[in-house]
Structure 1
Amino acid sequence: MDSREIEADLTEVLVTEQQIRDKLAELARRIEADYEGRDLLLVGVLKGAVMVMADLARELRPHVTMDWMAVSSYGMGTASSGVVKILKDLDSDLSGRDVLIVEDIIDSGLTLSWLLGNLASRGAASIEICALLRKPDAAKVEIDVKYLGFDIPNQFVVGYGLDYAERYRNLRDVAILAPHVYS
């Protein structure tokens, strides 16, 4: 979906598809250097991270394995509740594995903080985070993000996997959703 096709639903495009591709290529080079010779497991957080995970994995040159976890703290709203619910657990054993959590966006950080603790309790050798987007002004807990795409304002955004009521995920850019759509 092209942002020009739904201009009335958006107030501003924050990050274009090309900027995302360029940033993921840059992050992939750093990840390759940091994990050279190691067996890396990418853990994507469903559903939002699907696009980021797919494009990052395709950009990485060495073999990586992938697994998915679905957790929710949003429901159908526009703000994180902070109460985490596991909707789909990992299929992989994390014991002794190098894990890279791939996230679409970090808002409050509450869900990701919970997820870090949960995965650490499973015996991973290392756990790092790769996030396409972060809203620094929305942070309620500090999260150390090793691989970060873009800091964005504390606005409700959609696109590139991010949704409102399961819509807009296939928007190629990341854009601010107009308030009239969700109010």
Structure 2
Amino acid sequence: MKPEFIPVLKKEEIETAVTEIGKKISEDYKGRELVLIGVLKGAFVFLADLARNLTIPVKIDFVRAASYGAGTSSCGKIRILKEIEEDITGKDVLIVEDILDTGLTLSRLVDHIKSFGPKSVKICTLIDKRERRKVEIEADYAGHVVEEGFLVGYGLDYAENYRELPEICHLKF
């Protein structure tokens, strides 16, 4: 069965959101040392575009966490597969994620990142999808609120496929 792609966010809408988030972060962290921690693999496209839209110097690092595998729903068990390398002690940290969905991964990552003694930890996500939220967690910066659907494109995947799509689409089988 061939999947159907239903457009949710066009390329231009994504670009506008990233620009606006970049302006807000640049204002909020002006004169401060900020470390962006991208959550691999999905956030790499968003993180790259976001970094280019910032007007402040930043350091960039990555963490990799897994909870989905090849399915369309989180298994609930969060594993850290790649650790951060940057010393974040006493620094402002912004976790950059592609999508805030159940909240399980980001909740676990926030606690994990806090264990390194940063000055602050905030969350930036391109997509805030609330339909399946399982824990109380909110993004400090969010590009778009989407109520439902399994999303792919612009870094988001289904079983490692469709990350290259320039738009975000609801994947329907």
Please give the range of the TM-score, normalised by the shorter of the 2 chains.
over 0.9
Work out the number of aligned pairs and report it. Answer: 172
**Moved >2 Å (runs of 4+):** 8-11
Q: State the TM-score, normalizing by the size of structure 2.
A: 0.96
- What residue in structure 1 maps to residue 37 of structure 2? 43
Unmatched tracts of structure 2, length 5 or more: none
Q: 1:100 and 1:34 mapped to 2: Cα distance?
A: 12
The AA in structure 2 aligned to 1:123 is: G
Aligned match of 1:140 in 128, 134, 155? 134
**CA-CA distance at 1:57 after TM superposition:** 0.3
Q: 1:43 and 1:149 mapped to 2: Cα distance?
A: 17
Contact 1:42 1:100 in 2 (8 A): yes
- What residue in structure 2 maps to residue 94 of structure 1? 88
**CA-CA distance at 1:154 after TM superposition:** 2.2
SS at match of 2:30: coil
**CA-CA distance at 1:136 after TM superposition:** 1.0
**CA-CA distance at 1:114 after TM superposition:** 0.6
Larger deviation, residues 137-146 vs 110-119: 137-146
Deviations 1:43-69 (A, max 9, x none): 000000001000000111221110000
Root-mean-square deviation over aligned CA pairs: 1.0
The AA in structure 1 aligned to 2:63 is: M
Structure number having the greater strand percentage: 2
Give the percent of matched residue pairs that are identical in Structure 1 and Structure 2: 45
**CA-CA distance at 1:10 after TM superposition:** 2.7
- What residue in structure 1 maps to residue 151 of structure 2? 157
Q: 1:11 and 1:68 mapped to 2: Cα distance?
A: 29
**CA-CA distance at 1:143 after TM superposition:** 1.0
Contact 1:80 1:107 in 2 (8 A): no
The AA in structure 2 aligned to 1:31 is: I
- What residue in structure 1 maps to residue 66 of structure 2? 72
- What residue in structure 1 maps to residue 168 of structure 2? 174
**CA-CA distance at 1:86 after TM superposition:** 1.1
Structure number having the greater helix percentage: 1
Q: Trace 1:20-39 onto structure 2 (pairs within 5 A).
A: 20-39=14-33
**CA-CA distance at 1:122 after TM superposition:** 1.0
Contact 1:70 1:89 in 2 (8 A): yes
